[in-house]
Amino acid sequence: MSALEIGLVLIGLLLPLILIGLHIGIALMLLSFVGVWMMRGNFELATKLVSMTVYGGISDYIFATIPMFVLMGLLISISNVGKDTFDVAEWALRKIKGGLGVATVLSNTVFAAVTGISIASAAVFTRVAVPEMIRHGYQPKFAVGTVAGSSILGMLIPPSLLLIIYGVLAEESIGRMFVAGVIPGLLMAAAFMAMILIAARLAPDTVIVPGHQRRVDHHETLGSATVKLVPLVALVVLVLGGLYSGYFTPTEAGAVGAAGALVVTVLRRRLTGENSRQVMRETGYISVGILFLLIAAGMYSRMLTMAGIPMEVGNLIAHLGLGVYGFLAVYILLVLLLGMILDSTSILLIVVPIAAPIAKSMGLDLIHFGVISVIAVEIGLLTPPFGISAFTVKSSLDDNSIKVETIFLGALPYVAIMLLVLAFIVFVPGSTTWLARSF
C-alpha cells in the first residue's frame, strides 16, 4: 500500500474507534503510530515520533495558557459573580418585554469574557436565570433554551478555550485568535437579543405564559448595581485590556486573570477549603486532558503530512472546481454532522489538521477560517444527540419536569441565528480579520 492509501484507511478507522468507546486521544496516537510505522517500515522512527511530539507539546510555552484560563474560569464560576451580573442586567432591563431573556444573553456575554468555558456559563445561569424567568412567568422552554443558546458565547468571546486549541493546531497566534473572536461574538450576542425582543413583541406566547402579569419590582439601585459590577469589569479590563494593548502575552494574561479571579473569590468569601481543592482538581483534569489531546493531534497531523493527505485533498477540490465557498460549504456541513456525535474539542482535533493546510493553500486567512470552525463546532453544542450544553443545563436543573428534548427545542432558534451569523462571517471575512490583523 502507498503512504496515501495507508493514511486514508487510518482516517476511515478513526471514527469507528471513537464510536465504540476508545478515547479520542488514544485513537489518534494509536493510528498515528501505526501509520508512521507502516509508511516508513521503521518501528524506531514511529517511537521517536511519540517522544518528540510529547516533548514538543509539554515544552511549548503557549501550553501554559490553558491551565491559567481554565483556573480563572473555574474561580469566577464559584465567586457568585455570574449571579450578580444577572441581577444587574435584570434590574436594568426590567421594564422591557422579554427583558429577562435579554438579561440572560447579556450576562452570558459579559461572563464569557472571564471564563472561556461554555459549560461553566450553562451551569451557572441554569441555576441563576432559569428559576427567575419561570418565577416571572416565562415559558420553561424559552427559559432553558435561552440559557443553553447563549452559553455558547463562552466559546467564541475571548478568552475561549476553543480558540486556543485551534490556534495551537493551526499554528496561529493565540492573541490574534482572541481578537478575531470579539466582533463575531458581540454580533452573535446582539442577534440573540434582537431575536428575543422581536419574539416577545410578535409572538409573546412563545416567551411569556399567556395571561401572566409582568412584574417589574426589583430592589436593586444604581449604587448596588455598580458595586456588583466592579469586580467583573475590573477583571475584564485587566485581562483583555492588557492582552489587546500588547502589555501581556496570552500566557501572562491568563496568569494575571487567574490571580485576579482568586482575589475576587477570596474578597467575596466564596473560597473554602473544599471548593478550592475541587477547583484545583478540575483545573488539573481539564488542562491535562486538553494537553493530552493536543499531543495526540500533533502526532495525527504529522502522520497526515507524511501521507500527503492535505495536498491530495486540496488537489481533489481543485479538480472538482468547488472553489473557496464550495470548500467551506462542504467543510461546515462535515463539522455540523460531526457535532451530532462528537464533542467540540474532538471535532477540532480531527478536522483542523486536514482542513487548515487546504484552506491556506486556497488563499483563506487561517484566522478567518478558525472563527468559522469554532462557530460551526459551537452549533454542535446545541444539536442532538450529543449537545453537551443542553445536557449541562439539564443536569444543573432542579426541575425534573423539564426534559432534555424541551431544552433542544428551546435552543433551536439560537441554532438558526448561529447559522445566519456563520453565513455572514463566511462572506464578510473582514468581520474577523480587521481587528486581528491590526493587533
pLDDT confidence bin for 187, thresholds 50/70/90? very high
Q: Report the Cα 174 to chain-centroid distance in Å.
A: 14
Assess whether the previous peptide bond of 210 is cis (omega < 30° from 0).
Answer: no
Residue ranges of the domains in the chain?
A: 3-437
What distance in Å separates the CA atoms of residue 155 and residue 374, rounded to the nearest whole number?
8
Given a cut of 90, whether residue 367 has pLDDT beyond it is yes
What pLDDT does residue 100 have? Answer: 85
What pLDDT does residue 439 have? Answer: 62
As a whole number, mean pLDDT of residues 303-320 equals 77
Q: What is the identity of the amino acid at 353?
A: P
Given a cut of 80, whether residue 11 has pLDDT beyond it is no
What pLDDT does residue 387 have? Answer: 77
What distance in Å separates the CA atoms of residue 242 and residue 406, rounded to the nearest whole number?
41
Residue 171's region, left for phi above 0, alpha for psi from -120 to 50, else beta, is left
pLDDT confidence bin for 61, thresholds 50/70/90? low
On the CB side of 133, CA atoms within 13 Å amount to 30
pLDDT confidence bin for 421, thresholds 50/70/90? very high
What pLDDT does residue 62 have? Answer: 64
pLDDT digits (tens, 9 = 90+) for 94-148: 778 888 889 889 888 888 777 777 777 787 788 888 888 888 888 889 999 999 8
pLDDT digits (tens, 9 = 90+) for 22-45: 888 888 888 888 888 888 777 887
* Helical packing angle, 182-202 and 99-115, nearest 10°: 170
What pLDDT does residue 230 have? Answer: 82
What pLDDT does residue 434 have? Answer: 86
Average pLDDT, the chain: 83
pLDDT digits (tens, 9 = 90+) for 232-276: 788 888 887 887 777 888 888 888 888 988 888 888 888 887 888
Choose among 165, 192, 217: nearest CA to 356. 165
* Helical packing angle, 404-427 and 140-151, nearest 10°: 40
